[in-house]
Amino acid sequence: GDSVTQMEGPVTLSEEAFLTINCTYTATGYPSLFWYVQYPGEGLQLLLKATKADDKGSNKGFEATYRKETTSFHLEKGSVQVSDSAVYFCALSPFSGYSTLTFGKGTMLLVSP
Amino acid sequence: NAGVTQTPKFQVLKTGQSMTLQCAQDMNHEYMSWYRQDPGMGLRLIHYSVGAGITDQGEVPNGYNVSRSTTEDFPLRLLSAAPSQTSVYFCASRKSGEETQYFGPGTRLLVL
């Protein structure tokens, strides 16, 4: 079945450091890929998405590129802020418009001043 | 729009008790889902619905029951609570043909 693997956390960084959170997936066909963010005590919010190979999703300074050849969708940000501290989830939908998502286990990011 | 709402925010149950977690959305979304979030496990799908009157099982359906009598509401029932059901429960909705899934704020459940 479909699956998503994320790097384990927590990831601890100083403010303005470069961030990479690795995500790889296993799926048949051409899934859509997502990054969701969960701030403390809240539900999940969509951060960015990509629906086909080589697409780059971006939002709030975060970027991720859909790499079909390496089945990856790594999340990056050039300069993190304390307010970016949260749990980040990589997820996939087997095809565009499918009703549910398959999530990775989540990666906690802690940014210190 | 209130988006996706969930009640209660927090609940404590004793083993064997039953309860219903409420979920409602006011965005006229066809798809609704229930997930549970456990430490180190990410989110796992319990049940989902693609429209009123239609439900199906997800990855971890045992011990839970759902129904979808209206487009807006998708309650999750715990028939006989067990300590293994201690978790944070999230309801989500999505419009058919669109990619973004919207999540509620969650219900934290403790079963003693």
* Chain B contacts to A (CB-CB under 8 A): 4, 31, 33, 35, 40-45, 48, 50, 58, 90, 92, 94, 96-101, 103-106
Beta bridge partner(s), residue B89? B36, B107
Q: What is the pLDDT of residue A97?
A: 61
Query: A-B interface: how many C-beta pairs under 8 angstroms?
Result: 54
Disruptive mutation site among B90, B101, B108 for chain A (greatest number of A CBs within 10 Å): B101
Structure tokens at B56: 């199906």
Question: In the block, which residue shows the tokens 């989540």?
Answer: A106
Q: B43 vs A103: CB contact, 8 Å cut-off?
A: yes
Contact B92, B44 (CB under 8 A): no
Structure tokens at A110: 């802690």
Question: pLDDT (tens digit, 9 = 90+) per residue, B60-83?
Answer: 999 999 999 999 999 999 999 999
Strands A107-112 and A11-14: parallel
Q: Give the whole-angstrom CA distance, residue A77 versus residue A19.
A: 5
Q: What is the pLDDT of residue A8?
A: 85
* Mean pLDDT value of segment B21-37: 96
Q: B48 vs A51: CB contact, 8 Å cut-off?
A: no
* Mean pLDDT value of segment A53-76: 96
CA distance B48 to chain A (A): 8
Looking at the complex, does the CB of residue A101 fall below 8 Å from at least one CB of chain B?
Answer: yes
Nearest by CB to A43, from B44, B90, B96: name it: B90
Question: pLDDT (tens digit, 9 = 90+) per residue, A13-38?
Answer: 999 999 999 999 999 878 999 999 99
Q: Give the whole-angstrom CA distance, residue A76 versus residue A62.
A: 6
Disruptive mutation site among B99, B107, B108 for chain A (greatest number of A CBs within 10 Å): B99
User: Residue type for B5, please?
Assistant: T
Structure tokens at B26: 């006011």
Q: B99 vs A34: CB contact, 8 Å cut-off?
A: yes
Residue A97 is given by DSSP the state T
Structure tokens at A42: 């809240």
3-state SS string for A22-35: CEEEECCCCCEEEE
* Mean pLDDT value of segment B15-40: 95
* Mean pLDDT value of segment B29-45: 92
For B42-58, letters b (16+ CB in 10 Å) and e give bbbbbbbbbebeebeeb
The per-residue DSSP string of B14-39 comes to: -TT--EEEEEEESS--SEEEEEEEET
Contact B19, B107 (CB under 8 A): no
Disruptive mutation site among A4, A8, A34, A44 for chain B (greatest number of B CBs within 10 Å): A44
